[in-house]
Amino acid sequence: RFYHTGYCTHPECMVERGGSLRKAAFPAMTAHITHQGGNLLFDTGYAPRFFEACRRFPEKFYALTTPVTLSQPTIRERLGDAAHDINQIFLSHLHADHIAGLKDFPDAEIILSRTAYDFVYRTDKPESLTNRIIEVKQGFLRELLPQDLPQRARFIEDMPEVRLDEAFYPFEQGYRISADLIAVALPGHAAGQYGLIAGEFFLIADAVWRFATISHN
């Protein structure tokens, strides 16, 4: 099942070569996947906690440059009682529109890339105004992550590698999350971004926003 959790606006030219400066809406989506390992969420989308994390500067710049509208209930609210069944959350990457609802699932295992994790928890990166500015420029709001993430994290790169068949060209390698889910690296947009092959679907988060981007190469 796929869910919208709101959207932000940003110039069209940011995602489409030759696009205009007009504002375009970019919905934040999440997917609820029932698979052999249980119930998994692919990202958590927006939540009111996003605005709480943007109350002060420099984080406030995030909300100013990508104005957010919560046009839909949070994924926790949409799932209702079924939210208690979520035992895994797969984070494609750590931009705020993908993790704002993460704290609503305090008992779920969190699956993410080690590269994304190291971006946050590098021992040589103390919390400072300079580093906070760098994080905001890279689309990250530290306040959205639960404090116990280090204890709940499970790294994609530690999972069994799998060779993809020609149907997935040009992607050649993935990591087996479970018998029926495969994570695939999608570098370029954010540190440690991964997509997820789930049956007939390839969930790619922000690797591409419009089909025209693919068809025009």
Looking at the domain assignment, is residue 31 inside a domain? yes
The conformation of residue 211, written as its DSSP 8-state character, comes to H
* CA-based nearest residue to 191, from 111, 134, 113: 113
Residue 6 lies in a domain: yes
pLDDT at 125 over 70: no
Q: Answer yes or no: is 131 within a domain.
A: yes
Rg of the chain over Cα atoms, rounded to whole angstroms, equals: 17
| CA separation, residue 215 to residues 16, 43, 94, 160, 211 (Å) | 12, 26, 28, 32, 6
Percent of the chain with pLDDT over 90: 67
The answer to the question of residue 83 being in a domain is yes
Say if 130 falls within a structural domain: yes
pLDDT value at position 13? 83
In-domain check, residue 145:
yes
pLDDT of residue 126: 67
Domain assignment of residue 133, yes or no? yes
For residues 163-183, average pLDDT: 94
**CATH number of the domain that 44 lies in?**
3.60.15.10
The count of domains in the chain is 1
Average pLDDT score over residue span 24-38: 91
Torsion of CA 204, 183, 139, 132, to 10 degrees: 180
Q: What pLDDT shows up at residue 139?
A: 87
Q: Could you read off the pLDDT of 60-80 as tens digits, one per residue?
A: 999 998 899 998 899 999 999
Assess if residue 92 is contained within a domain: yes
Domain that holds residue 9: 2-158
**Count of other CB atoms within 10 angstroms of residue 40:** 23
